[in-house]
Amino acid sequence: MKISELSRRTGVPVASIKYFRRQGLLPAGRATAATLAEYGEEHAERLRLIKALTTLGGLSIAATREVLGAVDQARTTEGALGAISYALPVPVASQGGAGEEEEAEAERAAGAEVAELLAALDWRAPAASPHVQGLTTALKELRRLDAQYAPGELAAYAGLAESVARLDLARAECLDDPVALAERAVIVFAICAPVFELLRRLAQEDQVRRRLADGDAGGPPSECGPH
């Protein structure tokens, strides 16, 4: 199929298709002449994946390239899952605070907290893992905002995260073909994160609503269990 038809079938403008090609997100069509190339179903598929990653997953073009690169290099299941996980952007940017001294101190404290958590849960992750780094940064900032997790709270969240991850893995692994598996894994890892976030928001919304209804009788606006 020609580029115009690919465009028509996917709803992506021709100029954007060319752009994705230039950016290395989409392989070139099979050239049949100097100014003519043939595109196949796999191109349409890839285009759908690109759109899903950028719009649903909120990934940048660069991040999408990373992720798709990991998909394309996926030879074994495990390798693919790991590569994809590392290719996804970490959702925290460090910010460079003011003080020098206390900054280092906060960094140490946060790092210790992360290490302790990993040890308690028996999660194995290299200290250089971007996720460990990001978590350390986030905890450091929360500490600076005076909104640390209470003891055990972080572990409670982590336990739930583990359950979620178990569901993710089950969802990602039930395929035989390594290529299909890699693509599925991308979707599960990259696109299902916002879905869970939405579920969490809905759950929050519901609970807030319930609390409002309960408190309607004129009780105190916020009661808080013993802590």
Partner DNA sequence: AGCTACTGGATAGTGGCAGTATCTTGTTGT
Partner DNA sequence: ACAACAAGATACTGCCACTATCCAGTAGCT
Is 1 exposed, middle or buried, given 0-12, 13-18 or 19+ CB atoms closer than 10 A? middle
67 is a site residue for a copy of itself (CB under 8 A) = no
Closest to a copy of itself by CB, 34 or 126: 126
Torsion sign over Cα 100, 101, 107, 108: positive
Q: Which is nearer to DNA, 30 or 200 (CB)?
A: 30
Between 90 and 109, CB nearer to a copy of itself: 90
In the complex, minimum distance from the CB of residue 77 to DNA, in angstroms, rounded to a whole number: 29
**Would you count residue 128 as binding a copy of itself (CB under 8 A)?**
no
CB 94, min distance to a copy of itself, A: 7
The Cα 66–Cα 72 span in angstroms is 10
Shortest distance, position 52 Cβ to DNA, whole Å? 12
- Select from DNA, a copy of itself, none the partner in contact with residue 31, using the beta carbon and a kind-dependent cut-off of 5 to 8 Å: DNA
Helix, coil or strand: residue 142: helix
Which entry of a copy of itself, DNA, none binds 39, CB below 5 to 8 A by partner kind? DNA
Q: How far apart are CA 180 and CA 195, in angstroms?
A: 21
Phi-psi group of 152: left, alpha or beta (phi > 0 → left; psi -120 to 50 → alpha; rest → beta): left
Q: Which string of DSSP letters, residue by residue, matches 92-140?
A: ------S-SHHHHHHHHHHHHHHHHHHHHHT----TT-HHHHHHHHHHH
Nearer to DNA, 13 or 91 (CB): 13
Residues within window 165-194 making contact with a copy of itself, judged by CB under 8 A: 165-171, 173-176, 178, 181, 184, 187-189, 191-194
Nearest approach, Cβ of residue 51 and DNA (Å): 8
219 in contact with a copy of itself (CB under 8 A): no
| Cα-based torsion angle of the residue sequence 115, 117, 118, 123 in order, rounded to the nearest 10 degrees | 180
